[in-house]
Homo-oligomer: A and B are copies of this chain.
Amino acid sequence: MTRPTIDDIARSAGVSKSAVSFALNDRPGVSPATRERILRVASEMNWRPHKAARALGGARADAVGLVVARPAQTIGAEPFFGLLLAGLQAGLSARSVALHLMIVEDTAAEIEVYRRWTSERHVDGFVLVDLQHRDKRVPVLEDLGVPAVVIGGPGGHGTLPSLWADDREAMLSLVDYLAALGHRRIAHVAGDEAFHHTRRRIRALKDAARRLHLVDAVSVPTDFSDAQGASATRALLSSPDRPSALIFDSDVMAVAGLAVAAEMGVAVPAGLSVVSFEDSLLTRIVHPGITALHRDTFALGGQVAAMLLAAVDEPGSVRDVQSATPRLTVRESTRAPYTERRA
């Protein structure tokens, strides 16, 4: 009861294995009648191509790689990651391309995987996430000459095509909204400065603060963890002239910040407005619901999949694509500041 090969089909259909190959791959060289017969036999025998055999002949691996260098905790906690994964999957499986997922310790290990999988012909391309400042992975992938799409940017991704969001514009819209509500003291619990997008957000906030003549607009960098998000919040809320609005770079930190406010007896939104730069189930299910910048992460994954598949089909053909700028979804965590209302 071993699996059938094209040789078995050839024998059973009374033709050569080349004829079978032609028939199964829809190429000329066999008459309609013979083709039909071969296909019937193949289907009767429940034949399926042996991936490795095809790949050996130089065909595609029909798989793309996603290598992530993050602590396990983060993978589990970040709704962003799961949604991206799901979107990516959906886009890939439509063309029956598999996703090879690898979670590694650090960037060095990540690069090693890129090298290995490329030379082993294990995948046809890569998706690069968490773009960093002077990212070391970019030159490696360029050098390997393997198709790859970067999520992040603009800038810093060399010649690799990128799918980017306008973080600057998003931050400006957010600050404009808070300023319009009357907030003058805004603080920012930022992410890791090693990341490109974190730097852009910090710079955008600074610019907006200057333009809007805000009293203060400090950004506190963190490692994106709930712990550092909480302690940054604690520090900010303990200051004598504490901010009336907090911007969190991630949903996890926003929720952690909300908990700190509750623990310190600061009412949200009455005494403090809270905004998250990232939207997810998290910001929706807590009480009060957190005002957040929403983007369709699932769709984003689908876009990346499409770009990568195009890059595999025709290397060099894919250009940078801008994804939709995140839009503000207002929930219960934002309101005009207390002092302003009293005035």
Which A residues are closer than 8 A to B by beta carbons? 3, 46, 48-56, 61, 63, 72-73, 75-83, 85-87, 89-90, 93, 98-104, 116, 119-122, 226, 230, 252, 255-256, 258-260, 262-263, 280-282, 284-289, 297-298
A101–B89 CB distance below 8 A: yes
Q: Of B72, B83, B98, B102, which one neighbours A75 at CB under 8 angstroms?
A: B83
Complex Cα gap A48–B114 (Å): 13
Complex Cα gap A83–B256 (Å): 19
Complex Cα gap A83–B288 (Å): 27
Residues of B within 8 A of A73 (CB): 83, 86, 281, 298
B103–A285 CB distance below 8 A: no
B298–A51 CB distance below 8 A: no
A interface majority secondary structure: helix
Known A-B contacts A102-B98, A287-B262; the reply to A77 vs B76 at CB < 8 A is no
B101–A99 CB distance below 8 A: yes
Known A-B contacts A86-B103, A287-B259; the reply to A48 vs B80 at CB < 8 A is no
Given contacts A72-B86, A77-B280, A89-B101, 17 further A-B contacts (CB under 8 A): A48-B119, A52-B56, A72-B83, A72-B298, A73-B298, A75-B82, A85-B103, A89-B103, A90-B103, A93-B104, A100-B101, A226-B285, A230-B285, A258-B286, A258-B287, A259-B286, A260-B287
**A-B contacts, 6 listed (Cβ < 8 Å):** A3-B119, A76-B80, A76-B85, A76-B297, A99-B100, A262-B287
Complex Cα gap A121–B5 (Å): 13
What residue in chain B is nearest A109 (Cβ atoms)? B93
Complex Cα gap A238–B130 (Å): 45
A281–B82 CB distance below 8 A: no
Shortest Cβ gap from A259 to chain B (Å): 4
Complex Cα gap A93–B79 (Å): 24
What residue in chain B is nearest A100 (Cβ atoms)? B98
Q: Of B103, B120, B287, which one neighbours A48 at CB under 8 angstroms?
A: B120
What residue in chain B is nearest A259 (Cβ atoms)? B287
Residues of B within 8 A of A281 (CB): 73, 76-77, 226, 252
Known A-B contacts A77-B82, A90-B72, A100-B100; the reply to A284 vs B48 at CB < 8 A is no
Complex Cα gap A321–B148 (Å): 41
Complex Cα gap A205–B247 (Å): 43
B55–A52 CB distance below 8 A: yes
Shortest Cβ gap from A299 to chain B (Å): 10
B76–A86 CB distance below 8 A: yes
Q: Of B56, B85, B93, B252, which one neighbours A285 at CB under 8 angstroms?
A: B252
Complex Cα gap A122–B96 (Å): 13
Complex Cα gap A287–B90 (Å): 35
For A54, A85, A281, the residue with the greatest tally of chain B CB atoms inside 10 Å of its CB is A281
What residue in chain B is nearest A80 (Cβ atoms)? B76
What residue in chain B is nearest A51 (Cβ atoms)? B120
Residues of B within 8 A of A86 (CB): 72-73, 75-76, 103
Residues of B within 8 A of A287 (CB): 258-260, 262-263
B120–A50 CB distance below 8 A: yes
For A49, A76, A102, the residue with the greatest tally of chain B CB atoms inside 10 Å of its CB is A76
A51–B121 CB distance below 8 A: yes
